[in-house]
Amino acid sequence: MKISTSLFSLMTAACLTAYGQTGNDSVSRVKVFELGEVSVTGRPAGKTAGNRVNDVQLREFNRDNVTEALNLLPGLSITEAGARNEGQIYLRGFNLLQTPVFYDGIPIYVPYDGNVDINRFTTYDLSQITVSKALTSVLYGPNTMGGAVNLVSRKPVKQAEVWGLSGLKFGDSGFSGYNTSVSAGSRQGRFYALGSISFLKNNFSSLSGKFVPGANEDGGRRENSETGDLKFSAKAGYTPNATDEYSLNFILQDAKKDIPPGVEGNQFRRYPEYNKKSLYYKSKTAFGSALTVDATAFYDNYYNIMSQFDDKTYTTQNKGSAFNSIYDDYSAGGSLNFVSGFFKNNILKLALYEKYDSHREHNAAIPASEAAGQNEKAGEPVQEYRDNTFSAGLEDVFSVSEHIDVVAGLNYSYRRNIRAQEYGTHYDTGEKNVLYDFPSGSDDAFNYQVAILLKPAAGHEISVSASRKSRFASQKDRYSSKFGSQRPNPDLKSEFSWIFDLTCKGEIESVFQYEVSLFRNNIDNAIYQVTIPGEFADDGVTLLKQNRNVGKSFATGYEVALGLNPVKEISIGGSYSYIYRENKEDKSLKFTDVPSHKGILYGKFALPRFRGAYLHVDWEVNSKRYHTSDGKTLPGYGIVNAKVFARVWNGFSLEAGVKNIGDKNYYLSLNYPREGRTYFTSLVYDF
């Protein structure tokens, strides 16, 4: 690895582009749903935001979906992935397959491919988003190879409370969308209840005036870019005493999204339905002073229809590549966590976890329509995939002294394939248009970690950790033929990582906050595509791809997050992160989608005499990133956002702002130009 600048100059750059929480915890509007939190020690030091975004920041930065919210954190980069244009993140180089997303500690990825479009998850009902980058609790269960992202919901604190906002959005091409959200809750003695509903509508994405028109896009209003996200969440809870709590929760997401045609592509797709339902129960029960049992049970349903059309008119589906693909998936499972304080100076945790995944898919029949010019198209039989995953983990936090803790964790995970079906050309016999079963199989993995946590002074912490983590190959990794271009590999095994981390964090007098991390991730048995002969290709020599455990790579870098409150009216801060990734097998191949350098600088300037008014400005900078493994790059960019906020009357506030003030034409992924300059205004109500 080559580093072109000295450590001193890098740290100086970090200080100039730093980001910290700057004490926002003290003014958080909502209470965190503690049953939804997952942590190793439960005793974080300081208030820095190197691994957390709270509800105040979500609104100050106007981050309406999870993708944009996570982009505030150092070490995290975002992109828009593949032909489905899904919001994705990379955590220190690990993608969403390797860094799962949880909602109140419950996994929310799609059973078939292990991914989830986090653009579809709005933030209006969240209290905070936490990210485990190195030391990740065994309570999460399996597959936390690169860490974990946890979306934590809210809990009411008043006898009656209402919070919400309604806003409008404009681009240089006109009115482009609106959003509205309202949450109402109550806490009455031992009982509490909370309901939230939100709708985020984008009529179109407004492209930069500097965008150069192409074959599929003429600029201005982005073609086929409409989205709509409706979300309803509710919880009811009972707290019989100071230690116990029982909660039932429900989430409904009903989305529709159009996928803009790629600037250099020829796929024309829409999701007329992109729906998700979750029902889960969480509880915490103390048995005396030395034993606590946490229980979780969940059912998560995911249903979507993706349609591919012949051309940009989106009217016919006559080509062989056109389809209406239906996914009907669900996951069901639960966990039991036993937390013991029987042994002196020890917090011992035993975690038992089981999850059942079911995926059903098929291409639906398309009826003929003479008026539209649509021919009748036959559908497919339903194909089923079913997995069962079990995990057991043991974690111990041993307090050597008031200033030293040692953490050790061990996890064993086992995944069994119950059924896997495919329709098409049999991967072994070459028979065409048949519904066939893959052989069943299984895989297991041991994971372990150790850390030393030093607390040299109140509010400061130094941690050194080493973790060996794994990820099971998803159903798609093992069985997908990718429309005939890939040969399935039912025996595909887990990939592994060694994660090493040194982090120092803390605060001084609530005036200065800091967090500095150095890390290295070594990856073994990584799932890579390799080229093999196509035995059943018509020409007999066509090459296919196959997923195999052949990859070895590493990622190393550092992160700095700083915050400063010199006076009550001013908060400034930011973050800087650097990452270097290398393929050990072939150094000429480049890893895509992650910039080597990323920085955010922000400032909040309050005018308390003017009804709590403030000005918020933030500046984000990304270096260039590779978009192909042979070294083609997308240019770096810098964008500036600003807004003003003021209370106007009895719980009502107004805000107005501009995003991408300079109307920068920039890309996270080659085919999807980002929005240019947009304007927004909102009415906020808080009672």
pLDDT (0 to 100) of residue 448: 94
pLDDT band at 131 (very low <50, low <70, confident <90, very high): very high
Of the candidates 21, 88, 16, 84, the one whose C-alpha atom is nearest the C-alpha of residue 57 is 21
Which single residue is written with the structure tokens 């300059």?
Answer: 677
Other C-beta atoms closer than 10 Å to the C-beta of 343 total 11
- 6-26, pLDDT tens digit by residue? 333 333 333 333 333 333 443
Would you state the pLDDT for residue 47? 53
Q: Are 118 and 100 in contact (CB under 8 A)?
A: no
Residue 302 to residue 186: CA distance in whole angstroms: 30
532 pLDDT band, cuts 50/70/90, is confident
> Does pLDDT of 277 surpass 90?
yes
Q: What is the pLDDT of residue 546?
A: 86
Tell me the backbone φ, ψ of residue 59, rounded to 5 degrees: -85, -35
The predicted pLDDT at position 267 comes to 87
Tokens read off for 59:
């609104």
Q: What is the CATH superfamily name and number for domain 7-686?
A: TonB-dependent receptor, beta-barrel domain (2.40.170.20)
pLDDT (tens digit per residue) in 454-494: 999 988 999 999 999 999 999 989 988 776 677 888 889 99
The pLDDT value recorded for residue 510 is 84
- Reply yes or no on whether the pLDDT at 230 is more than 80: yes
Query: For residues 685 and 611, what is the distance between their CA atoms, to the nearest angstrom?
Result: 14
Number of H helices, E strands in the chain: 4, 35
Tokens standing for residue 618:
């933030």
Query: DSSP per residue over 328-348, as a string?
Result: EEEEEEEEEEEEE--STTEEE
Cα dihedral sign, 541-546-549-552: positive
Q: Where are the beta strands (DSSP E) in 20-119?
A: 31-32, 52-54, 76-81, 86-91, 101-103, 106-107
Q: In whole angstroms, what is the distance from residue 219 CA to residue 207 CA?
A: 6
Round to whole Å and give the CA distance between 480 and 383: 12
Q: Cβ(310)–Cβ(323) under 8 Å?
A: no
25 Cβ contact partners less than 8 Å away, ≥ 6 residues apart: 47, 54
Q: How far apart are CA 575 and CA 601, in angstroms?
A: 7
Q: Taking the domains of the chain in order of start, what are their residue ranges?
A: 7-686
- When mean pLDDT is compared across 44-58, 318-332, 440-454, the lowest value belongs to 44-58
Query: Taking the model in full, what pTM does it have?
Result: 0.92
Retrieve residue 356's tokens: 């059942």
Specify whether the CB–CB gap between 221 and 213 falls below 8 A. Answer: no
Which of 605, 675, 669, 598 is CA-nearest to residue 638? 598
Residues 6+ apart with CB under 8 A from 293: 284, 285, 287, 336, 337, 338, 339
pLDDT at site 8: 30
Q: Are 639 and 620 in contact (CB under 8 A)?
A: yes
**Rounded Cα gap, residues 277 and 280, in angstroms:** 10
Can you tell me the distance from the alpha carbon of 157 to that of 313, in angstroms, rounded to the nearest whole number? 51
Looking at residue 214, its pLDDT comes to 84
Tokens linked to 366? 């398309």
Mention every residue, 6+ apart, whose C-beta is less than 8 A from residue 602.
19, 61, 572, 573, 574, 616, 617, 618, 619
Closest-CA residue to 123 (of 78, 61, 76): 61
| Residues 103, 120 contacting (CB under 8 angstroms) | no
CA distances from 265 to 42, 386, 491, 671, 672 (A): 48, 33, 33, 7, 10
Over the stretch 417-426, which tens digit does the pLDDT of each residue have?
Answer: 999 999 988 8
Please, are residues 625 and 634 in contact by the beta-carbon 8 Å criterion?
Answer: yes
- Which two tokens mark 270? 């829409």
pLDDT digits (tens, 9 = 90+) for 333-358: 999 999 998 888 999 999 999 999 99
Contact (Cβ atoms closer than 8 angstroms) between residue 133 and residue 501: yes
Please provide the average confidence, as pLDDT, over all residues in the chain.
90
Q: What is the pLDDT of residue 41?
A: 64
In this prediction, residue 645 carries a pLDDT of 95
**What residues contact residue 215 under an 8 Å CB cut-off, 6+ apart?**
none
Per-residue tokens: 617: 């400005």
Range name among 52-56, 537-541, 578-582 with the lowest pLDDT average: 537-541
Percent of residues, the chain, with pLDDT higher than 90: 74
Which tokens belong to 317?
């589906």
- Cβ neighbors of 138 (< 8 A, separation 6 or more) are 349, 351, 393, 394, 395, 409, 410, 411, 447
Token code pair at residue 174? 């006109």
Structure tokens at 396: 């111990």
Q: Residue 83 — φ and ψ, nearest 5°? A: -70, -15
